[in-house]
Amino acid sequence: MGGRLWCYQAHLCKHNTSYTSVGDGEEHVYLGDSRTTPVLGKGKVLLKLTYGKTLALSDVLHVPSIRVNLIFVALLGKVRVKVSFKSDKIVMTKNNVL
């Protein structure tokens, strides 16, 4: 394998078409079944929200072998995005704006 293993909190993206910038890397991430898979890049992803809003996520790992994109809610809190779950919705606010 040779590269570093990512074992910290990170957002993961399956498609690199969502990136505004991509870097090269030889890192790997652990999967839920204890396998590892390569990280093909790291960059900024623009997440389209309702009401025409966009949230920029930094240091998102490009991992094409995952089935779905993953957002780590704990990392959103570090950039002052509040996340709450209400019935069938996920509500994100920053500076009291939805």
pLDDT digits (tens, 9 = 90+) for 39-57: 888 888 888 888 788 888 8
**pLDDT value of position 18:** 63
Environment class of 8 (CB within 10 Å of its CB; exposed 0-12, middle 13-18, buried 19+): exposed
- Cβ-based neighbour number of residue 44 at 10 Å: 14
Confidence of residue 6 (pLDDT cuts 50, 70, 90): very low
Say how many CA atoms lie within 13 Å of 24 toward its Cβ: 0
3-state secondary structure of 87: coil
Q: How many angstroms separate the first and last alpha carbons of the chain?
A: 43
Mean pLDDT, the chain, rounded, equals 80
Higher pLDDT, 21 or 93: 93
Percentage, residues of the chain above pLDDT 90? 5
Flag whether pLDDT at 89 surpasses 60: yes
* Residues 14 and 67: beta-carbon distance below 8 Å: yes
Higher pLDDT, 95 or 20: 95
Flag whether pLDDT at 64 surpasses 80: yes
**pLDDT value of position 84:** 92
